[in-house]
């Protein structure tokens, strides 16, 4: 057995364990925990054995080209795996900590209603984690990247019957999706720079990298900044740090494995993996140092004033990750890897023992608390300390900053389209779309000055549909329909820009239409069953309709281009037809895809998650009124 083929086991074992866990009945807690425990344990043993043989081969870099999913004359979507010392550290840490968390969770979550759901999600996360750290190109990495985002949303919203976990899960997922803009645009620009789906193995060749960047420093800087955007969002670096305490709403084991040890360090991994590409770009290295330094300073101050032990540990971890960003930018790869391993183990331990520590400190405070006498000081330094204290209590308004800069403008744009309804869509937008499609099919000559503007214009119209869906609260069906219309406008935009073949259109729409129509049918059915069509509150229908909730989640994932439908490949195909000088068109398309994912998950959360207490009380009161009315009729007769 070749060493490169051994990488298949590191992916195959978590995949098999995840599939088996799906088949185990919910009541079989012992079997569920053993499946997760032995999956992580078996993978850990296989990795340790592999490392012995790898060491005998002088730790050579391995690359495994698995299979090609789709290929044309100028495009190839291949699944590629890569293994070096960076991947070795991350995959070993992932196996050890997952093994520890599964063992801890089998007792910690005993008799928890979501026991099966927790272990399913942890194994799904572990699978996505291994795909990410073993990925050999950006496309394969993005598959695991998306899996991590979904599993994060599900674990933060583990207590889905409550309002705050559901709301915070959407916030976390939204920040993750904003980071996905960076990954998507970095892949698009890389296609034009390399004229292929470049592998990480090729990035290790400094001569090839320098040759491609020569004369293309602008696009090289753009790719590097986009990678930094994705890394900062994933690792909760400035200005995205505010999502980390919101993510602590999940169970303590999930907080430990996600936001203390593994997931939160993947931004560092992305920078380490792409370091050969941007190491000679001084501007990029300075920006990374500044991001890490600002994060470390702010997180240190915020951590010192936290009243919750989990958020205090989370911000302390962010401080160390900010320092890791500085270490990577300075070229200290080995130091960053040691730092990652030490911080991951420490934060996992701290989070797992945090309930006991809190209980101990409360008891100590109750029996032996003695207030400390402090002298009042005055002067500029004291005012500065108090100002920093107050700003740290507010977490430096980072959450408000992101909301004001990113989400609030999108929502305001969507509200400008409040006049839209099903009738106005049929009267205005569909005819205009059909006219544009007819001109394209008929091949009429359009003046060059107008033709150049049309792709970006059509993509912007599609983006406006997504903004409308983002701000829509009156009708889930209208919001979902806007997402479907967005795909139509995007395909028209690319078709006006460059020839988008029938086969490529079929690949793209095969997932959009199937999952889009299935989601529309579920929303329509739900409206008939419950007489509820608005999204002003979290309805919590997952309790009453769990099968429909699961099917709708699949529909939302398929519509947003999650790697379970051909649309995922179709999105990559679509971006290959956007020219390297069309940054505005690429930005509109990437933002539309990212925002569509946020809207789809929001619709799912609004319909199926939450307490649903208002609805239940409304239904109960309505039933009581009906019974009272029927009794009065009987008495009057």
**320 and 459 share one domain:** no
Question: Count of domains in the chain?
Answer: 2
**Torsion angle in degrees (nearest 10) through CA of 321, 323, 328, 329:** 130
User: How far apart are the C-alpha atoms of 259 and 351, rounded to whole Å?
Assistant: 10
- Output the CA–CA distances (angstroms, integers) from residue 625 to 539, 606, 632, in the order listed: 22, 27, 10
Task: List the beta bridge partners of residue 137.
Answer: 199
User: How far apart are the C-alpha atoms of 610 and 616, rounded to whole Å?
Assistant: 12
pLDDT at 127: 93
* Enclosing H/E stretch for 521: helix 502-530
Among 314, 344, 361, the domain boundary falls at 361
Phi-psi region of 610 (alpha: psi -120 to 50; beta: other; left: phi over 0): left
**Torsion angle in degrees (nearest 10) through CA of 246, 249, 254, 257:** 30
User: How far apart are the C-alpha atoms of 251 and 110, rounded to whole Å?
Assistant: 12
Residue 46 lies in a domain: yes
Assess contact for 236 and 172: CB atoms under 8 A.
Answer: no
**352 and 421 share one domain:** no
Angle between helices 266-273 and 309-329 (to 10 degrees): 10
Residue 255 lies in a domain: yes
Among 319, 334, 361, the domain boundary falls at 361
**465 and 346 share one domain:** no
This prediction's pTM: 0.90
Find the domain containing 130 and state its range. 4-361
Assess contact for 235 and 265: CB atoms under 8 A.
Answer: yes
- Cβ burial of 570 (10 Å; 0-12, 13-18, 19+) is buried
Among 317, 334, 361, the domain boundary falls at 361
User: How far apart are the C-alpha atoms of 234 and 269, rounded to whole Å?
Assistant: 10
**444 and 342 share one domain:** no
**262 and 120 share one domain:** yes
pLDDT at 445: 63
**345 and 421 share one domain:** no
pLDDT at 364: 65
User: How far apart are the C-alpha atoms of 608 and 602, rounded to whole Å?
Assistant: 10
| Residue where the block lists tokens 């829509």 | 472
CA geometry: angle 564, 566, 568, nearest 5 deg: 75
Assess contact for 569 and 563: CB atoms under 8 A.
Answer: no
**186 and 316 share one domain:** yes
Phi-psi region of 573 (alpha: psi -120 to 50; beta: other; left: phi over 0): alpha
User: How far apart are the C-alpha atoms of 247 and 158, rounded to whole Å?
Assistant: 11
**355 and 423 share one domain:** no
Residue 319 lies in a domain: yes
Residue 378 lies in a domain: no
3-class secondary-structure state, position 70: strand
pLDDT at 366: 64
Low-confidence ranges of the chain (pLDDT < 70): 1-2, 73-74, 358-378, 439-446, 499-500, 533, 612-637
3-class secondary-structure state, position 564: coil
If you ran DSSP here, which 8-state letter would residue 372 be given? Answer: P
**522 and 618 share one domain:** yes
For 462, residues 6+ apart whose C-beta sits below 8 A from its C-beta are 485, 486, 487, 488, 489, 490, 493, 588, 592
Residue 380 lies in a domain: no
Residue 410 lies in a domain: no
**287 and 353 share one domain:** yes
**357 and 422 share one domain:** no
**190 and 70 share one domain:** yes
Phi, psi of 78 (to 5 degrees): -120, 150
Residue 436 lies in a domain: yes
Which of 296, 312, 334, 300 has the alpha carbon at shortest distance from 259?
A: 312
Residue 196 lies in a domain: yes
- The neighbour count for residue 510, using CB atoms within 10 Å, is 16
């Amino acid at each position: 057995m070749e060493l490169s083929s051994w990488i298949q086991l590191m992916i195959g074992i978590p995949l098999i364990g995840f599939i088996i866990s799906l088949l185990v009945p919910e009541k079989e807690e012992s079997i569920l925990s053993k499946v997760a425990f032995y999956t992580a344990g078996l993978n850990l043993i296989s990795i340790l054995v592999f490392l012995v043989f790898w060491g005998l081969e002088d730790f050579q870099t391995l690359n495994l080209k698995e299979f090609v999913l789709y290929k044309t004359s100028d495009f190839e979507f291949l699944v590629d795996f890569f293994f070096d010392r960076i991947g070795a550290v991350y995959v070993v840490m992932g196996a050890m900590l997952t093994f520890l968390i599964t063992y801890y969770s089998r007792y910690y979550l005993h008799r928890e209603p979501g026991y099966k759901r927790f272990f399913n999600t942890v194994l799904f996360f572990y699978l996505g984690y291994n795909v990410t750290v073993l990925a050999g190109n950006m496309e394969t990495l993005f598959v695991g990247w998306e899996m991590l985002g979904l599993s994060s949303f599900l674990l933060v919203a583990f207590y889905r019957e409550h309002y705050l976990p559901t709301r915070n899960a959407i916030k976390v997922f939204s920040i993750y999706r904003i980071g996905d803009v960076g990954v998507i645009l970095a892949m698009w620009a890389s296609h034009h720079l390399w004229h292929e789906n470049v592998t990480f193995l090729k990035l290790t060749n400094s001569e090839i990298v320098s040759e491609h960047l020569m004369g293309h420093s602008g696009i090289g800087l753009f790719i590097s900044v986009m990678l930094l955007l994705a890394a900062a969002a994933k690792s909760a670096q400035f200005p995205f740090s505010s999502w980390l305490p919101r993510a602590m709403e999940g169970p303590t084991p999930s907080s430990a494995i996600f936001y203390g040890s593994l997931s939160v360090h993947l931004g560092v991994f992305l920078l380490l993996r792409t370091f050969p590409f941007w190491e000679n770009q001084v501007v990029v290295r300075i920006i990374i140092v500044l991001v890490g330094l600002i994060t470390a300073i702010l997180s240190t101050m915020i951590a010192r004033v936290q009243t919750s032990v989990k958020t205090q540990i989370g911000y302390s971890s962010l401080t160390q990750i900010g320092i890791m960003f500085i270490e990577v930018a300075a070229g200290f790869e080995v130091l960053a890897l040691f730092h990652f391993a030490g911080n991951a183990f420490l934060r996992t331990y701290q989070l797992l023992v945090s309930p006991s520590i809190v209980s101990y400190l409360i008891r100590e405070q109750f029996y032996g608390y003695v207030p400390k006498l402090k002298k009042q000081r005055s002067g500029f330094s004291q005012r500065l300390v108090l100002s920093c204290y107050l700003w740290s209590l507010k977490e430096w308004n980072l959450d408000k900053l992101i909301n004001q800069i990113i989400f609030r403008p999108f929502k305001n744009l969507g509200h400008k389209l409040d006049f839209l309804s099903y009738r106005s869509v049929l009267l205005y937008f569909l005819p205009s779309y059909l006219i544009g499609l007819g001109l394209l099919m008929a091949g009429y000559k359009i003046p060059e000055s107008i033709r150049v503007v049309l792709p970006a214009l059509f993509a912007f119209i599609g983006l406006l549909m997504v903004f409308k869906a983002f701000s829509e609260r009156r009708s889930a069906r209208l919001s979902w329909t806007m997402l479907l219309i967005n795909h139509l406008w995007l395909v028209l935009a690319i078709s006006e820009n460059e020839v988008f073949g029938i086969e490529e259109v079929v690949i793209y729409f095969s997932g959009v239409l199937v999952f889009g129509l299935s989601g529309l049918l579920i929303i329509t059915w739900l409206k008939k069953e419950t007489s509820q069509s608005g999204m002003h509150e979290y309805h919590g229908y997952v309790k009453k309709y769990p099968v429909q909730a699961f099917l709708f989640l699949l529909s939302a994932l398929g519509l947003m281009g999650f790697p379970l439908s051909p649309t995922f490949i179709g999105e990559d195909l679509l971006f290959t037809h956007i020219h390297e000088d069309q940054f505005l068109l690429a930005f509109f398309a990437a933002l539309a895809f990212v925002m569509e994912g946020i809207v789809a998950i929001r619709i799912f959360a609004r319909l199926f998650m939450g307490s649903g207490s208002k609805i239940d009380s409304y239904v109960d009161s309505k039933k009581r009124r009906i019974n009272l009315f029927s009794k009065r009729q009987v008495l009057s007769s």
